[in-house]
Amino acid sequence: MVDISSLSAGQGINNATNQKSSSSMSSLGETFDSFLILLTQQMKNQDPLKPMDATQFTTQLVQFTQVEQQIRQNQNLEAMIVLQHSTLVSSMTEYLGKTVDTRGESVFLSEGGTPDISYSLPEGAAKVELTITDGVGTVLRTVVLDQATQTSKGSHVYTWDGKNSGGITMTEGTYNVKFRALDGSGQEAKLANGVPMTVGTTASGKVTNVSIVDGQIILTVGGAKIPLAEVSSVRETPAATETE
């Protein structure tokens, strides 16, 4: 894992790689010089009546040239990797302190926190039921939202106070959330074509750390590790939240 805070260490690795390439080129140059000296001496001392076969020397010259080209290609590739890494690290810093919305049906509860859980309805419903469970599927709380501002078509936000149905504040950790759109009879709401209404769910949180794991950017949001691919939107964190 490469963390933003370990940029200097990553730079050291890049420097070591560059030094290795430079060493390879230097070694090749010394070997090539020795080869030319040997070739010159052999040509000076060859028998005029039985001149040397130049095929082997020509072949070796070609091999030296190919090796040199390969080393230079590696150097160019390493330079591109360093540039790509620097660009990636620079872009990572842009997420620090920002508030992101992440797809999925999980939310991270920090100590004393009240996480926002966003949901969206393709059509209006009579009610929306939210079920919060722990990691093993135990239901901790069920909330029924029935206000028009909570059940209309579009995006909405529910702020969880971090408590279960008994009013007990839950410990810090990741919890699962599930929304269901209900009709007037309390059954699962359906669209006009008879297909059950799907409620989209996202969770919001402030990015406190950014790292690279196996080449993938990972954001730390309230303690949870979120792949960048799961982020649906990024926005500035409100001033009130930044001072918490």
* pLDDT score of 129: 96
Query: How far is Cα 105 from Cα 116, in angstroms, rounded to an integer?
Result: 12
Q: Give per-residue pLDDT as tens, 173-204.
A: 889 999 999 999 989 999 988 899 999 888 77
Angle between helices 55-92 and 7-44 (to 10 degrees): 170
Please give the order of strands across the beta sheet that includes 173-182.
Answer: 106-109, 173-182, 127-133, 139-145
Tokens of 194: 């008879």
Q: Give 217's contacts (C-beta < 8 A, 6+ positions apart).
A: 88, 92, 210, 211, 227, 228
* pLDDT score of 52: 62
Domain ranges of the chain: 2-95, 103-203
For 153-208, give the secondary structure using H, E and C: CEEEEEECCCECCCCCECCCEEEEEEEEEECCCCCECECCCCCECCCEEEEEEEEE
Q: pTM, whole model, 2 decimals?
A: 0.54
Q: Which parts of 22-172 are beta strand (E)?
A: 99-103, 106-109, 116-121, 127-133, 139-145, 154-159
pLDDT above 60 (res 107)? yes
CATH code of the domain occupying 103-203: 2.60.40.4070
* pLDDT score of 244: 43
* pLDDT score of 11: 45
Query: How far is Cα 155 from Cα 128, in angstroms, rounded to an integer?
Result: 12
